[in-house]
Structure 1
Amino acid sequence: MILSLKKSFYFGMAVASMIATTGFATTNASARSYARITSNQVMQTAPQNRNVTTNGTNALYTKAGTLRGARVIASKYTLQRYGSSKQSSQYFRAYRVATTNRGAVYYKVVSFNGVYRGWIYGGRVNGTFAGGLNPANTMANANLPLQKTGYTLTNTKKYTLWVDPKWSQYKAKQVDMSSYSPSDTFTITDAATKTREQYLYYKVTDNNNSAIVGWVYSGGVAAPNSQQATKDNSVKVTYVNPAGQSVGDYTWIIQKTDLKAGATLTNGAKLGDILQKATQLTDIISKNVPTGFKLSATQIPTNQPTEVTVGADDYLVHVDPVTPNFQSPVAYYLTNTNQQISPSQLVGNSYPILTDAQMTIFSSQTQGTVPAKVFDNALFSDPNKLSSLTGVPVTNADGTKTTPVYYFNKQSTIAANSEAKYGDTLKLYYTLPQR
């Protein structure tokens, strides 16, 4: 019995040895299958349309995460903290895009502060930020102050001018201030707030040197005065369109430094008699024309600016709507299906009605790329305009009626128009909430 067991043991060992030697064993024979890159390109879209945030669903790697040898640079936890950060320096900029043979899209990104650089999964559609990334609007539109001219810079060492507000773009640059003089005054032409910190910035142009133009923190500019307008120190300018309707006004408070030597600032004084420069009111008028309009070339004020008197409260200036060279029409799409929404699907059988002045947000004198901040405009938060679309009521199976409401989807809209230029049709995306 013992002899029989030994023979069986040695026979089993021999068979096992033969299998191993002849290659019949299958355990651990197949190596792990790795993805490979089929496309790797530099992104060509406008830089400001490639700003992104990380959401923590995917880590950052030295190469696409499914490639052999990929190592983690930043964990999901770290990227989640960057994504929810209140610091603009922790945004990312995407600059390369790669696709694997499995259809996955990876983006190479760098943090604005330069701490992290690597590859992250971005979904399965080239040019659309998904997966571990979300599109980012680093700035949001803000209202201009009523007073737009005559500002001075308070401290250029602490609050200098930037081509783009600091940390609002990757490697934002300072404006060359070598020709700036502390006595220079500035005109505010635009306003925006940082999305994360909510800091207000103004875009300003040097009135003495038009080459000096840039963004400055609102705390870095000082208003020309804090006086209240009275009949003894001001002139009110009212801008009217060709139909005679007011489209804006501006009250100019005259300073003593504007006066000729010995002149008295008082109600009824003629500007031509008291001002140092006869063109001063003309300059004020041209710098404060309402957005979307230009001074009329055909309708001239009946009295010349030099004949206007202090205390005048209705000096009419005629303006015409600006006709842009490149006007983008808009189309409405459903995020859920990517299908265009037809007028017949909406109450009133029509799309929202926008005035010519409102349509100017989709217009430009040049055919540049449409910036993402266009979709921050107040029209997109106005329920009577572009915030939502009301659908035609539908009858349910139980006989009740439901009115569908489509809500504006900013992220999908920005992604769909990332390469759009003024003059192209802009696709506005709306989402029908799932019930």
Structure 2
Amino acid sequence: MQSFLKKTVYAGLTLFALGSLAAVNTTTANAKKHVTTKRVAKKVKKGKHTKKQTKVTVTYYKVHFAENAAYAKSNGVVSIMNKPGKLGNAKVVANKTTMRRLAKSKLPENVFHVYGMAKTNTGLYYAHVVTLGGKYRGWIYVGKNDFQYNLDNITKNTGISATKTLRYGANPSNVNVKILDKLWTYPKFSRYNARVVSHKKASYINDDFVVESAVYNTRGWLYYYVQDAKKKSVNGWIYSGSTTARNAKKDTKKTSKKNPAKTSTDNKQTQSNPTTTKPTPSTYNLVFKYNGNFVSTKIVNLSDLSVNGTPVVTPDSIAKFIPSNYQITTDANAINTDGPIVNGGTAIINLNAVPATRLTIAIKQKDTGSLLTPSSDLVTTLNEAGQDLLNQKLVLNGQSINADAVKSILTNRNLLSIDQSKLSTSGAGSLQFVGVDTTAVDASNPTVTLYYK
């Protein structure tokens, strides 16, 4: 039964793709016809009746992005309005001249946070944006693609393009520091919700801290994430220029007075058991992350990274080490090295999950777990919903499906409620959508299971 649905869905997706192509051709033809009609209309004598334009209406949507994937840069070609531009009486908030200036700016406060989406009944999409500095807020045209779950879906060369506010940097040679200013939850102007930490500055300003990671903002300023050496609840981000290195050796001497002197046996043990964190000669560390979260670390030989006798870290040289179901991001922050590619060095590689290119949709009854067989017309609608999921890259190999994204698509396809006559169930009335299986998607057989009750 499931096999039947799988085959039907695949066939339906193919037909849907062909249907889309036909629709594009038809639209193009109609567009040409419209231009011709418009020219003729100019010659019509005054007083002749012309067709009324369709009234523009707008539907508003919430957006769902990863915390580090909700930001965009101006492309400098479209103005920001106080409402979606096709609505009547829309006013300019930031004109094209201002948007061109913002496009060239490297100031972090001029990056946009995207926090809403609007779609007109004519198929145009607008993004609700605000600069991280808070100066400009409004709606901007972004093309004809749904970007509710992924800013990369925004049509190219429209109002904005997805960007990253931070890129990885190298830790200082001495990670033991004193701080001279207050801590932040994120580097200032790197997140819409960046703020000073809740702890009072006076309670930690004289403490010793350890640098755990480092990032650069869009302006190239280096920030450190620091952890209080004694108070585990005190940590945050600080500009590197507001830190000073502290002498860790002095701290060691102070504590060594309280400890018994080491014997010759202790020294021998220390020499014969080096710490595991010390890098092995001729190796290099590849640290893979997805959405800022750790995925895995690969320790490779420098010779494995060699190109024409020189070790390099490029998408090609590390391709064979990338974890399955992932691919390197295409932005400028994809690969971040801590300096020359030498023994013991480290590179942080940012990954994206690989989107599924095919899909099986299964419907199950929530209470019994029984697989339900849809009617032929329902299969067609499910095919369209499946194509929506694939087009918006919402089914990612090795990742859990986003239940809210699925529900949104089912809503658009009127699939939240299904009459039992269209399913292999007995009884009158309808079954209601109650959830989706959030098990990680199997790349060998990508399946989205919908539960109805």
TM-score with structure 1 length normalisation? 0.52
Determine the structure 2 residue equivalent to 1:146.
173
Cα 1:275–1:123 shift into 2, 3 Å:
farther
Instruction: Quickly say closer, same or farther: Cα 1:168–1:373, change in 2 above 3 A.
Output: farther
For 1:211 and 1:308, how far apart are their aligned partners in 2? 35
Cα distance in 2 for partners of 1:70, 1:78 equals 17
Tell me which of 109, 129, 136 is aligned to 2:154: 129
Q: Indicate conservation of the 8 Å contact 2:335/2:349, yes or no.
A: no
Tell me the distance in 2 between the aligned counterparts of 1:211 and 1:317.
27
Distance in 1 between residues matched to 2:206 and 2:260, nearest whole Å:
21
8 A contact 2:169–2:336 mirrored in 1 = no
| Shift in Å, 1:41 | 0.8
What secondary structure is seen at the aligned counterpart in 1 of 2:196?
coil
Q: Secondary structure of 1:316's match? A: coil
- 8 Å CA contact 2:288–2:349 kept in 1: the answer is no
After superposition, the C-alpha distances for 1:329-375 in whole angstroms (9 at most, x for unaligned) are 9xxxxxxxxxxxxxxxxxxxx99211xxx759979xxxxxx999995
Q: Distance in 2 between matches of 1:174 and 1:418?
A: 34
The match for 2:253 is 259
Q: How does 1:172-191 map to 2 (within 5 A)?
A: 172-178=194-200, 180-191=203-214
Aligned-residue offset at 1:420: 6.8
Change (3 A) 1:142 1:422: farther
Deviations for 1:289-319, whole angstroms, at most 9, x for unmatched residues?
xxxxxxxxxxxxxx9999248xx87851236
Q: CA RMSD in A?
A: 4.9
Change over 3 Å in CA distance of 1:35–1:304 after alignment to 2 = farther
Match of 2:77 in 1: 57
The offset of 1:111, in angstroms, is 1.5
Q: Secondary structure at the match of 2:101?
A: helix
2:91 matched residue in structure 1: 71
1:191 corresponds to which letter in structure 2? A
Note if 1:163 corresponds to 2:185.
yes
Aligned equivalent of 2:119: 99
Give distance in 2, aligned partners of 1:143 and 1:221.
15
Letter of the structure 2 residue corresponding to residue 259 of structure 1: K
**Which amino acid in structure 2 is aligned with residue 376 of structure 1?**
A
Report deviation, 1:77.
0.9
Report the AA paired with residue 181 of structure 1. Answer: Y
SS in 1 for 2:143: coil
Matches within 5 A, 1:185-224: 185-195=208-218, 197-224=219-246
Match of 1:290 in 2: none
Q: Secondary structure at the match of 1:259?
A: helix
Instruction: Give yes or no for contact 1:141–1:373 (8 Å, CA) kept in 2.
Output: no
Query: TM-score when scaled to structure 2?
Result: 0.50
User: Pairwise mapping of residues 340-379 of structure 1 onto structure 2 (< 5 A)?
Assistant: 352-354=319-321, 359=323, 375-378=333-336
Asked whether the 8 Å contact 2:78–2:140 carries over to 1, the reply is yes
Query: Kindly tell me: are residues 324 and 200 of structure 1, through their superposed partners in 2, closer, same or farther at Cα, counting changes over 3 Å?
Result: closer
2:154 counterpart letter in structure 1: F
State how far apart, in whole Å, the 2-side matches of 1:173 and 1:105 are: 31
Is the contact made by 1:164 and 1:172 (CA closer than 8 Å) also made in structure 2? yes
**Residue number among 287, 307, 310 corresponding to 2:266 in the alignment:** 307
Q: Secondary structure at the match of 2:78?
A: coil
What amino acid is the match of 1:53? K
3-state SS of the aligned residue for 1:70?
A: coil
Identify the residue that residue 27 of structure 1 maps to in structure 2: 47
SS at match of 1:204: strand
Corresponding residue for residue 276 of structure 1: 258
Given the superposition, is the C-alpha separation of residues 139 and 327 from structure 1 closer, same or farther in structure 2, using an over 3 Å criterion?
Answer: closer
What letter corresponds to residue 139 of structure 2 in structure 1? Answer: W
Equivalent residue of 1:318, what SS? coil
The runs of 5 or more residues in structure 2 that have no matched partner are 1-43, 148-152, 279-284, 297-316, 342-347, 351-390, 401-439, 442-453
Compared with structure 1, are the counterparts of its residues 421 and 205 closer, same or farther at alpha carbon in structure 2 (3 Å cutoff)?
farther
Offset from partner CA, 1:28-58 (integer Å, 9 cap, x none): 6447636623531121223431111111211
Describe the superposition over 1:244-281 as per-residue Cα deviations: whole angstroms up to 9, x where unpaired. Answer: xxxxxxxxx632x43359xxxxxxxxxxxx443579xx
Contact 1:162 1:172 in 2 (8 A): yes
State whether residues 328 and 362 of structure 1, in contact with CA within 8 Å, keep that contact through their aligned partners in structure 2: no
* Between structures 1 and 2, the one with greater helix share: 2
Q: The residue matched to 2:98 in structure 1 has which SS?
A: helix
Instruction: State the distance in 2 between where 1:135 and 1:67 align.
Output: 25
Higher relative contact order (CA 8 A, sep 6+): 2
Shift of 1:207: 1.1
Counterpart of 1:317 (choices 269, 272, 275) is 275
Q: Partners in 2 of 1:106 and 1:32 — Cα distance?
A: 24
Q: 2:131 maps to what in 1?
A: 111
